[in-house]
Structure 1
Amino acid sequence: GVLLLTATPGPRKRFEVYDEIAFAAVGHPADIEKLRKAVIDIAHLDGFNLSANDVTLQRLVSFGIGPLMKAAFDELFRSPFVARVLMAELDPDGGGDAFFTIDADGSFAQSGKAAAISGNAESAQAMTAQLQKTSPELPLDQALGRALEVWGLGRLTLDARDGEVPSAEAVRDFLKGGLQELTVEAAVLDRDRAAKSKFRMLTSEQLAEPLASYFEV
């Protein structure tokens, strides 16, 4: 399946959009909520007027949230959305999950294996590079630990100087001291889930054991 993870001091940042499609974002909470509601409305309207099979991530990004964010960015007397968005689509047959990242100006990029968003391009690129090296066959407990380490790398890269890449040891040290005031939030698009909706938020109990070592003092 697909795993989405972050650590945040604020409101929830991972959501279901439609059956096999999920939404995540960083930025201003009010703008994230506006974009979340907008993309859900677009998805359900397409599903009603067309069919569920017509609700695809490519369509939602190319004709929905991408143009919406671009219009707000381009208009002189309108505030742009202060947000970066990541959307994921599960392939129920396992042939090709899809990821899109959408920037505040409405520009977007597609990836077939993994994607990341952050406060700047260097941080997102560092995370994406590590995710691309990660096996897609990891069991969930190992994938959670790996995703948290990649998040930590991205967070440290935000403060790094001259393009310096933090070491794995520095990332683990940061996570052990830097997660106390944050909530780790994770969701999955579960290919094996029998329900029509494949989206599932992981509970704190489900996260506790796989991530226990990162909270040890």
Structure 2
Amino acid sequence: MAMQFYASPEQVQRDRSEYARKGIARGRSAVVLTYEGGILLVAENITTLRKISEIYDKIGFAAVGRYNEFESLRRAGIRMADVNGYSYDRRDVTGRFLANAYTQTLGAIFTETQKPYEVEICIAQVGASPETDELYRITYDGSVMDEPGFMAMGGQAEAISTVLRERHDGAADLPTALHLAAEALGSVGGENGQARTLDAKQLEVAVLDRRRKGRAFRRIQGAALTTLLEGEKDVPEKELGDVDAAPPPPATDKPTVSAASEEEPNSPESADPAEPADGVNGDGS
């Protein structure tokens, strides 16, 4: 008679944790940090697939790990935020609300399914002042941490966090914060432990700008990103990018007269209604 294999619950949890950590470590890292104008989200990314996204008006999303898994979480978060904002009030959609939802979802997946999600995500909400900014880090097992001003995700997050911890300044301007984020991401992964220099083509960058009304999220890419990485501070505000899917532009003025009513001048319908069309009495007599 074959013996049934048995593993203690503690061993099962350890195996799942190790599996998820190894999967996350294979991907590139991301950092999120505050600066004087809002929250900066930077990910090392050489593909067209997005690691950083907008969730709601003042809320951003960043993730590392397996793309198909955190993409499904991102889409679910957007749907949840839209439904709650429409059903109640837009102010009821907060970063804490979404972080709690992601915590429950990832916790249930980790404990109840055979394979855990290989993801780490960050929910960032920009406030009216630096003191009210919120950064939530949610790990593969549903654990959530409220990070104080900066955080790093990925396989070498500890080394990256060390660079951020030593030099992060919440009062820094955008070019300074971006340069720090790029330097922190480039401090790991080089040959023989050497630091790397990351350029605009290797970075995905977005900000939550507290000075913007309505939707605070916008991407920074192209020439504007190159300029900021070089330390320039005179990039025009309008060139720093926009949201992923901006609302449609205002509709053009619609014609007040239907095209069907523009008849030919010689047609009977176009005759002056003040003069009878039959040329007699106008009553058919």
TM-score tier, shorter chain, comes to 0.7 to 0.9
Look up the match of 1:25: 63
Contact 1:3 1:188 in 2 (8 A): yes
Alignment of 1:136-175 (within 5 A): 136-155=170-189, 170-171=194-195, 174-175=196-197
- Whether 1:71 aligns to 2:131 is no
TM-score (norm. length: structure 2): 0.62
Partner amino acid for 1:20?
K
Higher helix share: 1
- Whether 1:84 aligns to 2:120 is yes
1:186 to partner: Cα distance: 0.3
Task: Please say which structure displays the higher CA radius of gyration.
Answer: 2
Look up the match of 1:199: 217
- Paired residue for 1:190, among 199, 206, 209? 209
- Whether 1:131 aligns to 2:158 is no
- Whether 1:209 aligns to 2:246 is no
1:212 to partner: Cα distance: 4.5
1:206 to partner: Cα distance: 1.0
Contact 2:130 2:170 in 1 (8 A): no
Q: For 1:111-137, what per-residue CA distance to the aligned partner results, in whole angstroms no more than 9, with x for missing partners?
A: 131111112xxx223323332341112
Please list every run of 5 or more consecutive structure 2 residues that lacks an aligned counterpart in the other structure. 1-37, 232-285
Contact 1:86 1:116 in 2 (8 A): no
Equivalent pairs counted in the alignment come to 192
Larger RCO, structures 1/2 (Cα 8 Å, 6+ apart): 1
CA distance in 1, matches of 2:211, 2:165: 23
User: Higher mean Cα deviation, 29-38 or 45-54?
Assistant: 45-54
Contact 2:124 2:134 in 1 (8 A): yes
1:154 to partner: Cα distance: 4.6
1:175 to partner: Cα distance: 1.9
CA distance in 2, matches of 1:61, 1:39: 9
Contact 1:87 1:99 in 2 (8 A): yes
Q: For 1:57-96, what per-residue CA distance to the aligned partner results, in whole angstroms no more than 9, with x for missing partners?
A: 111111x11111111111134x322211111110123332
Contact 1:113 1:132 in 2 (8 A): no
Look up the match of 2:148: 112
Q: CA RMSD in A?
A: 2.2
Contact 2:43 2:203 in 1 (8 A): yes
Look up the match of 1:163: none
Look up the match of 1:5: 42
Please list every run of 5 or more consecutive structure 1 residues that lacks an aligned counterpart in the other structure. 161-165
Partner amino acid for 1:84?
E
1:155 to partner: Cα distance: 4.0
Do the aligned partners of residues 155 and 51 (structure 1) sit closer, same or farther apart at CA in structure 2, a change above 3 Å counting?
A: farther
Structure 2 counterpart SS, 1:175: coil
CA distance in 1, matches of 2:177, 2:78: 27
Partner amino acid for 1:5?
V
Identity among equivalent pairs (%): 30
TM-score (norm. length: structure 1): 0.80
